[in-house]
């Protein structure tokens, strides 16, 4: 633990990746503290004491604890010099930020595809191809653990009860095939907006990202989203070399970006470490 910042996270998780990619873009070094969600480490009392929401990512800077990926990005942008990730007073940025942050039900799309694997257009990547029953069993285990921890730690009972309710709804939404199909369909509208924005900005010149030459927070979110859709085997529904070609070109280009490659390396290190355990 040598760096000023510690990121509590799971390298493969969507919101964790937003925070990690922002740190990599800024070039701010950080200690990594893995929180293995599959093993339910985020439900353990030590973690709930740090983040009452029982979720990753969580950033620690000295005595300061910052939950929520968006707040983490804003925080590091304010605290550290270097490229600016967040732009103010730009309507295109505000619009696309809202579209990507508020109109993408990534939980329903991710778990909905895992639990209804036939909804994947081309098949799930091995990292995401878990037997649906195993996922459902995991949720039963989480609920049992939450009950046991809540029994033991009176001061954390309210946080546990809130999280139990959150997980119940989370699973219900992901199991509900109709809801998942609707989310998958609605995502087309998001990609219409992204394609429109890329055309407007002239991304085909190979110089611009979503808003202009700088790679900003909205690019971080889009990159993580594109990567997730590829892992779910859903990318072809939204972009290809025949369909929304600006998004497709963006994806081809962003895969060569240093920060993204570094992020994939973090995921790989974690995955191979987990295989050994
Ligand atoms: N709004 C939060 C969402 C964080 C979130 O949903 N994290 C997921 C992993 S991607 C998590 O920790 N899930 C475990 C749980 O909710 O039990 C953020 O932007 O950071």
pLDDT tens string 59-99 = 999 999 999 999 999 999 999 999 999 999 999 999 999 99
Q: Give the mean model confidence (pLDDT) for residues 167-189.
A: 98
Please tell me the class of the 5-83 domain. Answer: alpha beta
| Residue 203 binned pLDDT confidence (cut-offs 50, 70, 90) | low
Judge whether 150 and 209 are in contact, CB under 8 Å. Answer: no
Whether residue 259 has pLDDT greater than 90: yes
User: What angle in degrees, to the nearest 10, is found between the helix axes of 177-201 and 245-254?
Assistant: 80
Instruction: For ligand 1, atom 13, name the residue with the nearest CA.
Output: 55
Pocket test of ligand 1: the residue of 7, 35, 56, 231 to mutate, having most ligand atoms within 8 Å of its CB, is 56
CA of 12 to the centre of ligand 1 (A): 12
Determine how many CB atoms are found less than 10 A away from the CB of residue 13. 22
Mean of pLDDT values over 227-248: 97
The CA 117 to ligand 1 mean position distance, Å, reads 22
Answer whether 222's CB lies under 8 Å from 251's CB. Answer: no
Nearest atom in ligand 1 to the alpha carbon of residue 15 is 10
Q: Which atom of ligand 1 approaches the CA of 142 most closely? A: 17
Q: Is the CB of 217 under 6 A from ligand 1?
A: no
Distances (CA, A) of 72 to 20, 26, 41, 60, 84: 10, 12, 21, 10, 14
Mean pLDDT, residues 149-166 taken together: 98
**Mean pLDDT rounded to a whole number for the chain:** 96
H helix or E strand, kind and range, residue 34: strand 30-34
Distance separating alpha carbons of residues 68 and 84, to the nearest angstrom: 19
Report percent pLDDT > 70 for the chain.
Answer: 99
Quick: pLDDT tens for 7-63.
999 999 999 999 999 999 999 999 999 999 999 999 999 999 999 999 999 999 999
Q: Is 51 in the pocket of ligand 1 (CB under 6 A)?
A: no
Backbone φ and ψ for 134, nearest 5 degrees, come out as: -65, -40
Sign of CA dihedral 26, 32, 33, 38: positive
Which residues are bridge partners to 60 per DSSP? 6, 65
Is the Cβ atom of 13 under 6 angstroms away from ligand 1?
A: yes
**Alpha-carbon distance 17 to 14, whole Å?**
5
Asked, as a colleague might, if the bond just before 57 is cis with ω within 30 of 0, I would say yes
- Does the pLDDT at position 205 exceed 70? no
> How large is the average pLDDT for residues 245-264?
97
Token reading at 244 = 């929304």
In order of 102, 103, 117, 139, 171, the CA distances from 168 in angstroms are: 21, 22, 20, 8, 5
Backbone angles phi and psi of 6, in degrees to 5: -125, 130
- Across 76-106, b (16+ Cβ under 10 Å) vs e yields bbeeeeeeebbbeeeeebeebbebbeeebbb
């Amino acid at each position: 633990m040598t760096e000023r910042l510690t990121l509590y996270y799971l390298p493969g998780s969507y919101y964790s990746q937003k925070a990690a990619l922002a740190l990599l873009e800024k070039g701010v070094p950080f200690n990594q503290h893995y929180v293995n969600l599959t093993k339910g480490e985020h439900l353990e009392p030590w973690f709930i004491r740090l983040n009452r929401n029982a979720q990753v990512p969580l950033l620690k800077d000295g005595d300061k604890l910052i939950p929520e990926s968006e707040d983490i990005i804003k925080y590091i942008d304010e605290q550290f010099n270097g490229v600016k990730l967040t732009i103010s007073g730009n309507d295109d940025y505000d619009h696309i930020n809202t579209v990507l942050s508020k109109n993408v039900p990534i939980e329903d799309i991710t778990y909905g595809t895992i639990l209804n694997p036939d909804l994947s257009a081309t098949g799930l990547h091995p990292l995401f191809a878990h037997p649906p029953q195993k996922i459902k069993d995991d949720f039963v285990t989480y609920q049992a653990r939450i009950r046991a921890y809540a029994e033991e730690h009176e001061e954390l009972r309210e946080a546990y009860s809130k999280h139990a309710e959150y997980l119940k709804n989370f699973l219900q939404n992901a199991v509900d095939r109709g809801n998942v199909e609707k989310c998958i369909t609605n995502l087309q509208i998001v990609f219409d907006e992204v394609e429109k924005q890329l055309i407007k900005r002239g991304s085909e010149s190979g110089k611009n990202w979503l808003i202009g030459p700088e790679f900003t927070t909205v690019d971080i979110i889009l990159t993580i989203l594109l990567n997730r859709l590829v892992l779910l085997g859903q990318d072809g529904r939204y972009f290809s070399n025949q369909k929304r070609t600006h998004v497709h070109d963006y994806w081809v280009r962003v895969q060569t970006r240093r920060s993204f490659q570094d992020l994939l390396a973090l995921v790989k290190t974690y995955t191979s470490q987990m295989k050994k355990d």
